[in-house]
Copies of this chain bind each other. A is one copy, B any other.
C-alpha cells in the first residue's frame, strides 16, 4: 500500500481542528479518516489507544504550545508587563480573533470531561498560576494577582462562549481589548 511519510505530530493540528469542529463524540473515525486522509490502519498505528489517545495527544500538544508560548514567558520574562501584553496578542491570534473556540474549555463542558479531567484541570491551573506569577513579579499583591488572573481567564473563556453563541467574533476582540486595559492598569 501507499506510504504517506506522515509523522504523528503532523496530524495533531488537523485532529485538533476536527475535534474543535465536531466535538469528541461527534468526531467519528469515518470523519477523522476523511479529514486527515488517513485510513483506520494508519490511525490505529499512530494511536493504538484509538480516539481517546488521539484526543489526549491533541490536548497535550495544545498544553505544550501554551507552555512554551504563554506560560514560560509569563514566568521567566525579564519584563513581566510586556509578557502580559504579549500573552494578549498571542491568545487573540490563537483563537483567530474569536472565530475559533477553546477546545479545552469545550471539553470542560462536555460529557467527556471526566475522561480528560486531569488534563483540562492542568491546562487552566498552569495558565492561572503563570498569570498570577507575572502579576506578582510586576508588583501586584498576591491577593490582587489571584483575583486578576482568575478574572482574566474567566473573561477569555466567557468571551469565546459568547462570541460563538451570538456569532459575533468582534465581541471577543472587544473583550480582549478590555482585558488588555485591565492588565495595563497600575497595580494596587
Contacts and interface: CB of A to CB of B under 8 A. Distances in A.
Contact of A121 (B104, B110, B125, B165): B165
Interface stretch (A36-44, A134-142, A152-160): A152-160
B158 A113 contact: no
Contacts of A167: 117, 121
Contact of A161 (B22, B108, B174, B175): B108
A67 interface: no
A99 interface: no
The quantity of this chain's copies bound in the complex is 2
* Interface SS, A side: helix
A158 B165 contact: no
A170 to B, nearest CB: 11
A158 B147 CA distance: 14
A23 B112 CA distance: 9
Interface band, chain A:
35 or more
A124 B159 contact: no
A171 interface: yes
A109 interface: yes
Given A21-B111, A25-B25, A111-B26, A154 B162 contact: yes
A112 B27 CA distance: 12
Interface of A: 21-23, 25-26, 101, 104-106, 108-113, 117, 120-121, 123-125, 147, 150-151, 153-162, 164-167, 171, 174-175, 178
Given A101-B109, A104-B165, A154-B175, 5 more contacts: A26-B112, A150-B174, A154-B154, A154-B159, A161-B161
